[in-house]
Amino acid sequence: MAVTNTCSKCGAATLRHSRWRTKDGLLRSLFFSAVRCQACQYRQYRFSPWATTLTVAVVLLIAFFVGVIYTVSGQLP
């Protein structure tokens, strides 16, 4: 997925990160980052590959430790 650094509304290249808001929801806060155009103040979301990678890594790490605990103890925690 190509990430552009221009506003999808006005085309200006003046984007900055926008603050997280409660209405963004869980998926947007995990996999997308909010950006705001400084020229027209339009708020939009960009795919965040680092957040996705971090989320997958944490899930795999938890699954690994649950598997180790299950193997050592012979039962689920």
CA–CA gap between residue 15 and residue 9 (Å, rounded): 12
pLDDT number for residue 29: 62
Of 61 and 15, more confident: 61
**Domain-located, residue 2:** no
Please give the model's pTM, rounded to 2 decimal places.
0.56
When pLDDT is cut at 50, 70 and 90, the band that residue 2 belongs to is: very low
**Domain-located, residue 57:** yes
Cβ partners under 8 Å of residue 46, min gap 6: 3, 32, 33, 34, 35
Of 23 and 73, more confident: 73
**Domain-located, residue 10:** no
CA–CA gap between residue 77 and residue 21 (Å, rounded): 35
CA–CA gap between residue 13 and residue 30 (Å, rounded): 25
- Report how many domains make up the chain: 1
